[in-house]
Structure 1
């Protein structure tokens, strides 16, 4: 398996979970949920770092 694939897949799953948390109506608006944005940002960071690993491993 290529280096960086696992963080990309993990980041995709975590980002999807964070975005689904934004749909929950616990706050006044969906954009007011800081935990959901934190989870989504954590997932996006995994995607970016996994992509850097995959590109660096290729060249």
Structure 2
């Protein structure tokens, strides 16, 4: 599994967790939504990071 595909898996899991938090109500749902959104942002930022080839 390459670096980019790992980042896309993180983004995909972030989408799933965000949807779970979206359909939950209350403070717990808001926390889960924020956790998922953070994974989406960090996964997308990781795709823009240059890779080093030895």
Query: Structure 2-normalised TM-score?
Result: 0.78
Q: Which has the larger radius of gyration?
A: 1
Runs of 4+ in 1 over 2 A off after TM superposition: none
Match of 1:51 in 2: 44
**Residue 8 (structure 1) aligned to one of 2, 8, 11:** 11
Aligned residues between the structures? 48
Higher relative contact order (CA 8 A, sep 6+): 1
What pairs with 1:21-36 in structure 2 (closer than 5 Å)?
21-22=24-25, 33-36=26-29
Shift of 1:8: 0.2
Q: Give 5+ residue unaligned stretches, structure 1.
A: 23-32
Query: Structure 1-normalised TM-score?
Result: 0.72
